[in-house]
Structure 1
Amino acid sequence: MLDLVAVREGGSVRDALAIALTTARHAEALGFTRYWLAEHHNMEGIASSATAVLVGHIAAGTEHMRVGSGGVMLPNHAPLVVAEAFGTLAELFPGRIDLGLGRAPGTDPLTMRALRRDRQETEQDFPRDVAELQRLLAPAQPGQRLIATPGAGTEVPIWLLGSSLFSAQLAAERGLPYAFASHFAPRLLLQAIGLYRELFKPSAEWSKPYVVIGVPLIAAPTDEEAQFLASSTFERVLGILKGERRKLAAPVHGLAERLSPQERAAIQDFLAAAVIGGPNTVHKGLAALLQATQADELMLVCDIYDPALRLRSLDIAAAAHAQLQAKDTHTLS
């Protein structure tokens, strides 16, 4: 699961953090493979800005599920700081920490400047920073002057995240696993993962390509209720498209009817990889995504206003996944 730690209308950041931990524990009980937190800044409705802190919080509150970043926006941070933070997490929770990396700012231009100060990012910075992180998390070499402590020797798994072709090519070149952000930018999904698989060069850690895709999920006992609950997500998407980042709103009836054709088309494009519906619809939707992408894992993004109904949505998805898993080896994150 990928959690943006949504702050709900009428709720607080503290409420959002408590909901995230409850959700993570529920996901672990359902057999989810991993639980990732996404870095965003200066957004009223998202409480996951201190991503490494949240990774530690969720890992401490669960027992065996992998926990990680989906992702840390590397241009916002010095690689040494990231290595030390995730190296510390790896020492606290051995064998359970993932480090997903993105190259987008995860925020608006004003906040980006506040995070990076006067640093001007170039296209070569991200590959260089990824390579530096790999060195800092690897065992220290004789004569190595810069050593991450903690960090060196922890070999925290690095994942590259992306919504374009750039990170797909870099992940293939480095022999790293790749997660595509189809939960908000699905247009290049098939092209990106196809390119990644075609160009993949085996590494010491990964002998073959490994693909995760983001899937917006809203599940309920009926298709009608799922569509009603999804109105919260539709409003959030509309706000993103309009540059208005608000708290997660309660669902409302008849939202689609009040939208213009252009707004409906924009939301549909944003959520082209979404699975929204009752148990049968969810089963068919997940099966179709797996058939189209041959993804190794599906990473669910499930933002439902009522936390209890969010857990129920995960129950329905897990049941659908169990049926699919009986037929192949794909896993649910």
Structure 2
Amino acid sequence: MTTPLSILDLAPISEGGTARQALRNSLDLARSAEASGYRRYWVAEHHFAGVASSSPAVLVGLIAAATNTIRVGSAAVLLGNNTAAEVVEAFGTVEALYPGRIDLGIGRSGQRRVEALKAVASEKFTSERVRRDTVVREGVVIPAPFDPTGLLASPLLRASFEALAFSGAQVPDFDEQVDDILSLLNGTYRSRDGVELHASPGEGADLELWVFGSSAGPSAELAGRLGLPFGANYHVAPSSTVEAVEAYRSAFRPSSTLSKPYVVVSADVVAAEDDATARELASTFGHWAHSIRSGHGAIPYPDPATALPLTPQQHAVVEDRLITQFVGSPSTVADRLDSLQKLTGADELVISGVTHRHEDRVRSYELLAREWGLTALLAA
């Protein structure tokens, strides 16, 4: 197994825990990941939920300070919630102190949500769920698409959008924001009136710019056209990952950044010493995913010892997430990751794993690193 592995951390808050402890756990996990040979440590951006990763630039800086060599980045900063200048200056500040180690991953989720909400309001939103059944391709489950119509109508989701934006503000075009980020980084930025602006810190920063996406849409195509590395989210949108990767490769044009496509693919993983133990540790993942899918926001991660089983109705809402989670012994998980890598041709895999107890999550990553051969590569 030579494909590099990286980690995506949401800084999950466990049931009965606090955001303070979740952040300390992230620092501890990052140090363990570095010692185990993981290539990168990504953090997400989520708001008003049972996770502590609401400020990725701050968290990236804290993790970089707590480690020595592992690359640290955002997966992803949501440009619908941030201006290009804010992003470049924030990550430029971190890169100035930890040069050569910072990755800036960006996504258009904020813009996509606004578009989808408008479509739902105008009754133009259509789901693809009825058009395709769950299939298995080369050992990888490709589920039917999830219908987000109910989720998009959530009052909590609407309130979150309002809290994250100024009243009446227009979400800029994603392509335009990415162009602004690139020009701010390379020192060629001009305002709409032609005025030069230079970001300090930010201009000339040695940041790796990534685009993350969940479908064969604008994000994948833009990443390819600009010759940037692309992250496909199997752990969030497993139904459209293969199409997203294909769209990126089809659109790819060589750039000063990359001469050929570079793809990372994510997966939800829980590993333990044996399959039964892993299944027990992962038994409340469905509860957590359902809290998100039902529009209530991610709850603190439930304790398997006290959680009640999902009802059939709840299970149906998250079935695609459950059948695409990789759970088991290290060899079981490694085999499924290997299948995902072969199907997508991923140059790198990103692992996202959540358990109620922090020590189980750390152990999961350590076991997988050993099975995958990361520890041996590190020693060599």
- The normalised TM-score by structure 2 is 0.80
Residue pairs, 1:313-328, within 5 angstroms? 313-322=364-373
Q: Are the equivalent residues in 2 in contact too, given 1:101–1:161 (CA < 8 A)? A: yes
Q: CA separation in 2, counterparts of 1:39 and 1:254?
A: 27
Match of 1:267, SS?
A: helix
Q: Which one-letter code corresponds to 1:120 in the other structure?
A: Q
Q: Deviations over 1:44-93 (max 9, x none)?
A: x1111111110000000000100011110011111111111111111110
Pairing partner for 1:119 from 149, 158, 169: 169
Match of 1:52, SS?
A: helix
Structure-2 change in CA distance of 1:40 and 1:323 (3 Å): closer
Partner residue of 2:331? 280
Pairing partner for 1:55 from 44, 56, 60: 60
Q: Are the equivalent residues in 1 in contact too, given 2:40–2:72 (CA < 8 A)? A: yes
Q: Are the equivalent residues in 2 in contact too, given 1:184–1:271 (CA < 8 A)? A: no
Match of 2:351, SS?
A: strand
Q: CA separation in 1, counterparts of 2:158 and 2:306?
A: 35
Aligned residues: 322
Pairing partner for 1:248 from 288, 301, 322: 301
Q: Which one-letter code corresponds to 1:116 in the other structure?
A: A
Structure-2 change in CA distance of 1:292 and 1:325 (3 Å): farther
Partner residue of 2:20? 14
Q: Deviations over 1:203-240 (max 9, x none)?
A: 11111111111110100111111111112312101111
Residue pairs, 1:45-124, within 5 angstroms? 45-105=50-110, 108-117=157-166, 118-121=168-171
Q: Alpha-carbon deviation of 1:266?
A: 3.5
Percent identity for Structure 1 against Structure 2: 41
Partner residue of 1:228? 280
Q: CA separation in 2, counterparts of 1:57 and 1:232?
A: 29
Residue pairs, 1:28-43, within 5 angstroms? 28-43=34-49
Partner residue of 1:128? 176
Q: Deviations over 1:102-134 (max 9, x none)?
A: 111388222222222121226xx1110001001
Partner residue of 1:175? 227
Alignment gaps of 5+ in structure 2: 1-6, 114-155
Q: CA separation in 2, counterparts of 1:325 and 1:263?
A: 42
Match of 2:103, SS?
A: strand
Q: Are the equivalent residues in 2 in contact too, given 1:183–1:274 (CA < 8 A)? A: yes
Match of 2:77, SS?
A: strand
Partner residue of 1:269? 320
Q: Which one-letter code corresponds to 1:22 in the other structure?
A: D
Structure-2 change in CA distance of 1:158 and 1:144 (3 Å): farther
Q: Are the equivalent residues in 2 in contact too, given 1:98–1:158 (CA < 8 A)? A: yes
Structure-2 change in CA distance of 1:84 and 1:267 (3 Å): same
Q: Is 1:151 matched with 2:199?
A: no
Q: Deviations over 1:187-216 (max 9, x none)?
A: 101111011112211111111111111110
Q: Name which structure has the greater RCO, CA cutoff 8 Å, separation 6+.
A: 2
Q: Alpha-carbon deviation of 1:260?
A: 4.0
Match of 1:179, SS?
A: strand
Q: Alpha-carbon deviation of 1:17?
A: 0.5
Structure-2 change in CA distance of 1:253 and 1:282 (3 Å): farther
Pairing partner for 2:246 from 178, 181, 194: 194
Q: Which one-letter code corresponds to 1:50 in the other structure?
A: S
Match of 1:26, SS?
A: helix
Q: Alpha-carbon deviation of 1:244?
A: 2.3
Q: Are the equivalent residues in 2 in contact too, given 1:228–1:252 (CA < 8 A)? A: no
Q: Which moved more, 1:86-95 or 1:245-254?
A: 245-254
Q: Alpha-carbon deviation of 1:272?
A: 4.3
Q: CA separation in 2, counterparts of 1:6 and 1:150?
A: 30
RMSD over aligned Cα atoms: 2.3
Q: Are the equivalent residues in 2 in contact too, given 1:216–1:271 (CA < 8 A)? A: no
Match of 2:164, SS?
A: helix
Q: Alpha-carbon deviation of 1:184?
A: 1.5
Alignment gaps of 5+ in structure 1: none
Q: Are the equivalent residues in 2 in contact too, given 1:287–1:324 (CA < 8 A)? A: no
Q: Alpha-carbon deviation of 1:252?
A: 3.8
Residue pairs, 1:205-216, within 5 angstroms? 205-216=257-268
Match of 2:204, SS?
A: coil
Q: Alpha-carbon deviation of 1:155?
A: 4.1
Q: CA separation in 2, counterparts of 1:264 and 1:323?
A: 35
- The normalised TM-score by structure 1 is 0.91
Structure-2 change in CA distance of 1:323 and 1:6 (3 Å): closer
